[in-house]
């Protein structure tokens, strides 16, 4: 995590100078950002699996992902202001330096596992161990190094359930993040600074609802709802809800109404973090980081197809409505696939399907 943040902060800081140098230097800098950012969510997932017992993981993920969404809000709101004051260099310099400041806090406050933390109290460590009740075999597997069993991981349908869910999540996430300012600008004729504010509101909603979803998910499990059913409930809300809301978005005539539909879609989307995202830790605690990396690879490809495809789709049809409806349908189909094949139980990856 530390090396990832350091690398993407440096690449972000250097991006304006790379752009002044050449197109290839700019592409290299942005590629470096992508490579470095790829470690963030797998590391987070692995850390949550090590530090939090099952009854607290949903809230942990909810809080962590709330920060993820608030970063979008800050970026969308501050970038126009920083560019107006410091030119194109402003956002890249400020955000790059902020990453290094965060890194200092991370290095001084964290460790890879509870028993390695120099400041953890004995009572907290015992609480974590007691609640998690990790078997000796699982501890052995978590600490085992070597080539992950990719073939066996891909031979199980619960793996494909989280891969498909993550792919759809990334498709929707990056299409909304990348295209919504342009959508508001071209459809409702608001300027790009106003469009940034309209686009930032939904991410604020996502940060708030993500924590609510985490609290509710943990509450369901503590009250006896099976982990499998809990994950499917969260995932259904997180995909069916945005699917319906995006259909509503295509009917909006005013930017405020469109922002409300978009806020509903993005806000409900946060429930999926308590579905497929935390599900990675449950079906494969010893391979959660690896499995998350596999999901991110598929998700990145889906994001590329979705983001680039949106441009071609809009150019071909002359409007956003068709692509938004396509995204809504894909949300509904992905929810169905997850509900059929997902499980909240640990999957035996020692044998093939």
Domain with 294 in it: 156-341
Q: Say if residue 43 is in the same domain as residue 111.
A: yes
Query: Last residue of some domain: 135, 170, 189?
Result: 135
The model scores a pTM over 0.85: no
Q: Say if residue 126 is in the same domain as residue 167.
A: no
Tell me how far apart the alpha carbons of residues 181 and 27 are, in angstroms, rounded to a whole number.
Answer: 23
Location of structure tokens 């050449």:
22
Average pLDDT over residues 84-109: 90
Total number of domains constituting the chain = 2
Q: Per residue in 275-287, pLDDT tens?
A: 998 888 788 877 8
Tell me what percent of the residues of the chain surpass a pLDDT of 70.
92
Q: Per residue in 25-44, pLDDT tens?
A: 999 999 999 888 888 877 88
Q: Say if residue 179 is in the same domain as residue 50.
A: no
> CATH number of the domain that 321 lies in?
1.20.1250.20
Location of structure tokens 């409007």:
319
pLDDT band with cut points at 50, 70 and 90 for residue 3: very high
Q: How many C-beta neighbours within 10 Å does residue 194 have?
A: 16
Q: Say if residue 130 is in the same domain as residue 166.
A: no
The encoded tokens of residue 84 equal: 């107006």
Query: Last residue of some domain: 135, 167, 200?
Result: 135
Q: Per residue in 210-267, pLDDT tens?
A: 888 888 988 898 888 999 999 999 999 999 999 999 999 989 888 888 888 988 998 8
Q: Which of 73, 83, 44 is nearest to 205 (CA)?
A: 73
The answer on pLDDT for 110 being more than 80 is yes
Residue 348 placed within a domain? no
Q: Per residue in 53-73, pLDDT tens?
A: 877 887 888 888 888 778 878
Q: Say if residue 164 is in the same domain as residue 276.
A: yes
């Amino acid at each position: 995590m530390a090396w990832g943040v350091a690398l993407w902060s440096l690449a972000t800081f250097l991006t304006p100078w790379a752009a002044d140098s050449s197109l290839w230097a700019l592409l290299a800098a942005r590629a470096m950002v992508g490579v470095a950012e790829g470690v963030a969510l797998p590391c987070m997932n692995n850390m949550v699996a090590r530090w939090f017992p099952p009854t607290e993981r949903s809230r942990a993920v909810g809080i962590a992902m709330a920060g993820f969404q608030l970063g979008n809000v800050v970026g969308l709101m501050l970038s126009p202001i920083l560019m107006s004051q410091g030119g194109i260099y402003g956002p890249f310099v400020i955000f790059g330096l902020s990453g290094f400041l965060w890194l200092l806090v991370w290095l001084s406050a964290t460790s890879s596992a509870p028993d390695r933390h120099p400041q953890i109290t004995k009572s907290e460590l015992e609480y974590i161990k007691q609640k998690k009740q990790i078997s000796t075999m699982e501890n052995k597997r978590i600490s085992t190094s070597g080539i992950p069993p990719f073939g066996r991981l891909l031979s199980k349908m619960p793996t494909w359930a989280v891969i498909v869910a993550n792919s759809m999540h990334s498709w929707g996430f990056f299409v909304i993040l990348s295209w919504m300012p342009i959508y508001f600008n071209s459809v409702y004729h608001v300027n790009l600074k106003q469009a940034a504010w309209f686009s930032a509101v939904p991410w604020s909603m996502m940060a708030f609802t993500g924590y609510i979803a985490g609290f509710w998910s943990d509450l369901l499990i503590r009250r006896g709802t099976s982990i499998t059913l809990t994950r499917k409930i969260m995932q259904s809300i997180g995909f069916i809800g945005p699917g319906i809301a995006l259909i509503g978005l295509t009917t909006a005539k005013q930017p405020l109404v469109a922002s409300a539909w978009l806020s509903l879609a993005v806000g409900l989307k946060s429930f999926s973090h308590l579905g497929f995202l935390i599900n990675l830790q449950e079906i494969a605690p010893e391979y959660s980081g690896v499995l998350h990396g596999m999901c991110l690879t598929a998700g990145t490809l889906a994001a590329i197809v979705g983001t680039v495809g949106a441009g071609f789709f809009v150019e071909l049809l002359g409007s956003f409505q068709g692509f938004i409806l396509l995204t809504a349908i894909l949300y509904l189909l992905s929810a169905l696939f997850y509900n059929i094949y997902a499980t909240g139980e640990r999957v035996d990856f020692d044998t093939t399907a």
